Structure 1
């Protein structure tokens, strides 16, 4: 923060500054606080909200020159229109101090016009202005192919464990002492710090699990952290299985804990996932994986190809196939077959984006899918579905999918 302050206090300002770091490392907060405390003229624009170049230009002009400035732009402004209006307004309202344009989530600029980023990096040729780009990716992945002025690079590192402890402890519950909440945060970080260092996600986990942590306080004292830890430990381990996925809301999480307490016996292993609400497309991916594991590959046309005609099961059945596939267990299948079945059974059209592949990885992490084979194999990865029939039937009911209709053993 001190480096940023020194940069802004210098008389000769930099044309552009590129600030990068992981999510929730304080980039936006630090810049907003510095510009506000130093009383510098600035415009903060979120590239997520600016779905078009015109909105981006309007937000910059409105923040720097007032409400009447955006009316000077044409209805669908181009980069040259923005430069012309910006230069005109700079002449009319000259500033003694450097103006600052802060573009948050600046990596989204790469999806806009190719000349937009180089133009912003050279905007100081028109006026005493510094463009600050805030991004979650490094400059080497950000730099456009057309070439541009190199900005000054500043890195915001991840918070250390001690810093996370200090920040999260500030959210102490008003009904309990700060010392108790700090002890809870210390336990939370002891479990999750090795797998999650995102401040927002840790704050979400703290809000979900604190009520469970303080439940035994009617029988034990606040200082007896050992008994409090024994009560919260199984719930934190369960929460670790769904970290980052945000599969349930806070209310759903409370309802789930209440249901499990009323049930006779604790549910162990994979069956514990039956009470966890998976994301919508993850359910269909799991359904497709189950069908690929228990249906012979040659029957895919019969189940998933339109206008296939009516084909009896006896036409598929070979002489040696007299045993149910469910008795033989799940068989491995390639990734392309999984995706083909997924796109056939899902209701809406889904593009093969990285989100779909990340959900497959999440299912593997949750042990709902098993990846088979070796990492050094040259062909595509293969998977096995690791859930029971009762589990997949329960999942299919939540998305109104008739699972039995597509299973070869039930024809």
Structure 2
């Protein structure tokens, strides 16, 4: 095993900005020193908790098992995975290989204690890590305190909890060491992303023609990438990137549009100020924050389709039925002879003033702005025969369309009524707006204003 200092130095280079946490973890779980029975590692998302803990335990060559709570639906599954992972890790550390047998039943923390005592008795130290255990589904209140006390019962066992936000009363166990992973600052994020700068040119540049080789390309991208990341943080990342993962995604999405003038030959690789001025528009929009399903620039056809109102497509006679129901709901029954009789030639006129020609003292509210009134089924069917272009018999098709409108809640039953929906005495009330039913009427050649009373 490598010396402790060399392990710390190697891990610090692999995980920058986490030197203090690596030093504390390597000290606590070094093989030649006793480890605390319970340790809490906490921090927000995308702060490197899980990956650093795993890397430290692997570098120290300590037998360990990591249980991810996101993969466990129930508490029993969490405990059984802990038993299986512990058994396989111990056999792998002893050189006997992995075991492939029947899954061991484990339903309680006491059963887990018995299995762990049998499995780790041949190793001097074992670390059991529960990652994200504070978000375990269907977890009882006694799960975390029970798991935390396993380290005090079994001498060669150390429990590590990786959680998001610590709670003083989470474990009911005093003296538990806590290791915090703070969020990355601007300098930390730029330092981490600078470890892997993106290429400026996707295709290899002709060295003989442009006198530009691999060494110059590496120097240019190492010089340009950190300055670009700083601009992304100041313009977008500071307000929209909540963690390192989101900030990295934004930087990757905007990199190719940013360096396109360099690829085209308009600007040089070191003309950062001119490049920033020419490409400042990409830092002012939100294209990098929107998902890939949403198109940044909708086509003219999509804009025309959005401008058109969309209505529920109904069968042919259902449209007439809904128009008849609207007229029956907003027209007084006493005016049905005026608007729906076809026996004589008549003029439909608006009844808004007095007979003597004097102005009315009271302004009348349009009827379609009032609440709909209930109507009977036989009245709606009579209005339907009046507004239809050609007469139709009352067959099962009409009855089916009435049931369809009722199931869509475009027609609502009112009152107790009878159990039969198609009883002539059943009363309904229309449940749609004037804009919808007028457009529906125009689609079948009916202008409802000619039939609507004032």
Alignment TM-score, normalising by the size of structure 1: 0.57
Instruction: Provide the C-alpha distance between the structure 1 equivalents of 2:232 and 2:164, rounded to a whole number of angstroms.
Output: 25
Alignment of 1:233-272 (within 5 A): 233-239=280-286, 243=289, 247-249=290-292, 256=295, 259=297
Which residue, out of 111, 114, 118, partners 1:81? 111
Q: Decide whether aligned partners of structure 1 residues 138 and 323 sit closer, same or farther in structure 2, where only a CA change above 3 A counts.
A: farther
Q: How does 1:204-219 map to 2 (within 5 A)?
A: 204-217=249-262, 218=264, 219=266
Please tell me whether the aligned partners of residues 19 and 132 of structure 1 are also in contact (alpha carbons under 8 angstroms).
yes
The question of whether the paired residues in 2 share the 8 Å contact of 1:61 and 1:70 is answered with: no
Q: How far apart are the structure 2 equivalents of 1:234 and 1:319?
A: 55
Distance of aligned partners of 1:188 and 1:215 in 2 relative to their CA distance in 1, 3 Å threshold: same
Deviation at 1:88, TM superposition (A): 2.1
Match of 1:44 in 2: 66
Give me the whole-angstrom Cα distance separating, in 2, the residues matched to 1:212 and 1:37: 40
Q: CA RMSD in A?
A: 3.8
Counterpart selection for 2:270 from 223, 242, 247: 223
Distance 2:244 2:133 in 1: 21
- After the TM superposition, which segments of 4 or more aligned residues of structure 1 sit over 6 Å from their partners? 321-324
Deviations 1:348-391 (A, max 9, x none): xxxxxxxxxxxxxxxxxxxxxxxxxxxxxxxxxxxxxxxxxxxx
Rounded to whole Å, the distance in 1 between the matches of 2:272 and 2:433 is 51
Q: Is the 8 A contact 2:47 2:183 kept in 1?
A: yes
Aligned to 2:318: none
Shift of 1:34: 0.7
Matched, 1:165 2:190: yes
Alignment partner, residue 65 of structure 1: 87
Quote the Cα distance in structure 2 between the aligned partners of 1:166 and 1:313.
73
Task: Tell me how far 1:69 sits from its aligned partner.
Answer: 8.3
Equivalent residues, number: 275
Alignment of 1:370-409 (within 5 A): 409=435
1:34 counterpart SS class: helix
Work out the CA distance in 2 between the residues paired with 1:188 and 1:313.
63
Q: Aligned in 2, Cα 1:112/1:408: closer, same or farther, shift over 3 Å?
A: farther
Deviation at 1:208, TM superposition (A): 1.2
> Partners of 1:237 and 1:205 in 2: how far apart?
13
CA contact (8 A) 2:131 2:161 kept: yes
Gaps of at least 5 residues in structure 2 are: 1-20, 89-97, 202-220, 307-324, 332-362, 370-407, 409-430, 438-454
